[in-house]
Structures are given as C-alpha cells and as structure tokens.
Amino acid sequence: MPVDGPSARRYKEVMGADLIDLAGAIYAHAYGIVNAMLLRLWNPAVVFFCYAVLEFALPRGGRRNSWRSYARGLRFFAAAVIVNTLIFTVVTPLIDVGQIEPLAVIDLRPLTESSFLPLRVLGWFGAGFLILIIGNVIYYWMHRAQHQVPVLWRFHKVHHSIREMSATTSYHHFTEDLLQYVVVIVPMAFLLGVESGPVPWIFLAIARTQHLFIHSSTAIDIGPLRFIIGENRFHRIHHSLEARHFGKNFGTATPLWDVLFGTAYFPRAGEWPEVGLSRVPEPQTVAEYLMMPLRPVDPAMAVGRA
C-alpha cells in the first residue's frame, strides 16, 4: 500500500469514496427493511382495531375476550413480523413468485374492464373469490399434515393453544409464513395465475383479511354464504376442545374442500365451543411464543387432533 505522495492521497480518496458508497448501501438496505416492517405492522393493526371494535360491540356468545389477550396477540404478531421481514429479505430474491410464469392463467379482464357495470361487478367478486379459493386446496392438505406429522404439529400447536380466540389473537408461530410460502404460494404460482385487471381495493381487502374473520369472535352472520366462504363459526369448530369436533374443518377460505374430502362439520345455531388445547398452555411471553415448538412434548399431544 502506498504510504505517501500523490498515490497515497489517491488511494485514500478512493477508499473514502468506497466506504461512503458502502455506508449508503447499508443505510438504504436497512431503511428498506425497517420500512417493510412498519408497513407489515401498520396495515394489519388497522384491521385488528376494526375487528376489536366489532368483537366488543357484537360479541358472539355474549362473551368478550380480555384486553390482556389482545395485548398478547399484538406482541406476538409484532415479533413474527420483525422475524419474517428479515427472513423474507433473504428468501424473496431467491424465489420471487412475481417472476414465475404459471402453466395456466385465468383471465378476468374481459369482465373487470367491461363497460357494462354488472359484468364489472361480477369480475370484482370473481377476483376476490379466486384469491380466497386458489391455493386453499393445497393449504387444506398442508393443514391436515400439520395435525398428523409430529414435527409440523410442534409448530402448529402454537396456534391451537389459543384460548381466547379473536382476529388479533389469530397468530401462528412465525415459521408458518415460510411454510406456506414454500408449500402453498410457490407451487400455486407455477400452476395457476389470475389476471384480474382493475379491482376496487375493498374487494381485495376483504379477500386478504378473511383469515382474520374466521378467527374473530364477532357475531356477524354471512348467512347462506357460509356454505361457500369460510366464517368464524365454521372455523371455531376446528379449534374446539370437544372431541366430537376433532379432525374437522381444515379449510380456511372455503368449506368446499372439507365437504369434498369428508371433514366438514357445519355448526348448529348457537354452537360456539370453548377452544384451545387442554394439555398445552398458551404462551404468555414473546420468548415462550418463539421457543414453544422446542419445548419437551407430552406424548399424548405428540400429534394434533386429526
């Protein structure tokens, strides 16, 4: 390395510029990660608040969840967002579903771009419905495997241990997002795509937050649509402590796959069972939430209630 003279000055200038560029790149990357975390926190937080208002104003079964359960759910959700933002910063560039060309495409643009309003509305509903349905058949079988394969159940039981279930406390272990990405989202990106065209945000928002509705404790009733679209009464059966409900209602977006594969149980009027796992306590701290899959397993709870 030159120690004096013009060459040394030039070397220092180049090194200084390189360090500035490196610092700028690190800052930009860190800013992008933090910004992604904030977006992943803020948008669901608004939805959680809306559901909490509904759950307190219109509670199902006349009972309201404790504020402590909501605070716990928010802490666990925030922890999962932070961890998964870091994980997907690495995973997404390796497998970017946005760059995958599907084998088949459902094109709804002739409907959503039609000048005839009824056709546009039909296309909007179709887009929302397809977002719910596509991939849910793969998820259905993945979900059944989570109850039957011991190593998968170790992680999935975090979700089933919830005793006060609401939209805010619908958390899974943070590894669930990665599992669904690899097992459900990536394969479906290869198999089938949807060209929706312009769709009002409200239709997409409802479709993308439906997984919160099925865990909510609100008394909102969707009527006969419950035979096509998943709702909270149907999904609560899946979380039930009652043995007669075990191995039922694995579908989330729709009950159709449960009907097709013989696992559907449509609750009677007023049927709203207690939920959770009788021999697995719900995590109370972020550390317990993160480490729960690594705890020693009770042999009686080595697999789920399949």
What tens digit of pLDDT does each residue of 99-146 get?
888 888 888 788 777 888 888 888 777 777 777 777 788 999 999 999
Residues of the chain with pLDDT under 50: none
176 token code pair? 């669930």
How many angstroms separate the Cα of 114 from the Cα of each of 125, 136, 201, 202, 301?
14, 28, 18, 19, 54
Q: What is the pTM of this model?
A: 0.83
Site of tokens 């079988």: 141
Site of tokens 């679209």: 229
Q: Is residue 134 within 8 Å of 195, Cβ to Cβ?
A: no
What is the CB neighbour count within 10 angstroms for residue 139?
A: 20
Which value, in Å, is the radius of gyration of the alpha carbons in the chain?
Answer: 23
At 93 the pLDDT is: 85
- Rounded to the nearest integer, the mean pLDDT of the chain is 85
293 token code pair? 């899959």
Site of tokens 């904030």: 38
Residues 78-108: b if buried by 16+ CB within 10 A, e if exposed:
bbbbbebbeebeebeeeeeeeebeeeeeeeb
What is the CB neighbour count within 10 angstroms for residue 75?
A: 16
Q: Is residue 92 within 8 Å of 101, Cβ to Cβ?
A: no
At 299 the pLDDT is: 67
Per-domain boundaries in the chain: 5-301
Burial class from Cβ neighbours inside 10 Å (0-12, 13-18, 19+) for residue 238 reads buried
